[in-house]
Amino acid sequence: MCHSRISALASARPPVPTGAGGGLLPARDLAAAWFLVALVAVPAWVLTAGQARGMGVGPGTMGMALPLFLLLWVTMTAAMMLPSMAPVAITWVRGIGRRSSGWKRTVRTVEFVGGYLLVWTAFGLLAYAALALTGGLVDDRPTAGRWIGAVAFLLAGLYQLGPLKNVCLRHCRDPMGHLVRYAGFRSPARDLRVGVHHGAYCVGCCAGLMTVLVPLGVMNVAAMAGLAVVVFVEKLWSRGPLLARGVGIAFLVLAVLAPFQDWLLPGLRATMDDM
């Protein structure tokens, strides 16, 4: 019954390809698609690492103006999130290619990618505000960094163990299910809405993990790489939900240790060291 419903939707609207790689793409197309992902993700990592090396790790926004911060934030998002959201993105963009061509295909693809990045940019605004607030607090009272770090780890741990994380992670781990749902979206701006919808779930899935960049440092490349691995494994490994809970428990442990272990807070420690 379920299979026949999916087939009917696929024939009436942009198709949802089936095959290898989680039932989404044939093996040959899957390999080519992952190669394209690498072509985008690797330069994003190189740019992020190069910028971080020049800036170091410090508290708050490290003096970055909002436009520069958002540019770096979007680049960092592409580096960290692209591998884990690739199965859905590749499949949807491939469906666009089957149903349109030329400029129309380009516009639809840009709409989808733009919708996804729009959500992460909005989240970046919240991140900038949080970093500016915590950076100001640490500048005024350097010892406050220990408690800010503890609160950040606590919030991240509770979020990882909470119901919203579970809902968003379940969505991101079931690409076929929501691709069928996306097939029912109507114009106008259909592909933009798909990108925004999927991006919102992606933000919901990763919000707790991104919170720890406050104590670890927003330009901490090692932290970014570690979080990117966690995001990837959570979404694609069969035991991803178990990993998510384990990471949540680890964050709670760090929340207890943070007030007494400054080395756990490289993103808040620079000002404390100056004092």
Model pTM score: 0.78
Please list the rounded mean pLDDT of every run of 10 residues in the chain (275 residues): 41 39 50 60 69 65 84 84 77 74 79 89 93 86 87 96 92 75 75 88 92 88 87 88 95 94 80 43
Residue 76's pLDDT is 83
Whether the CB-CB separation of 126 and 61 falls below 8 Å is answered with no
Task: Note if the bond before 67 is cis, omega within 30 degrees.
Answer: no
Query: Residue written as tokens 């989808």?
Result: 112
Residue 235's pLDDT is 86
* C-alpha 64, offset from chain centre: 21
Lookup: tokens for 67:
């436009």
Distance CA 139, CA 192 (A): 41
* C-alpha 55, offset from chain centre: 22
Whether the CB-CB separation of 220 and 213 falls below 8 Å is answered with yes
Find the distance separating the first CA and the last CA of the chain, reported in whole Å: 67
Residue 7's pLDDT is 39
Amino acid, single-letter form, for residue 14:
P
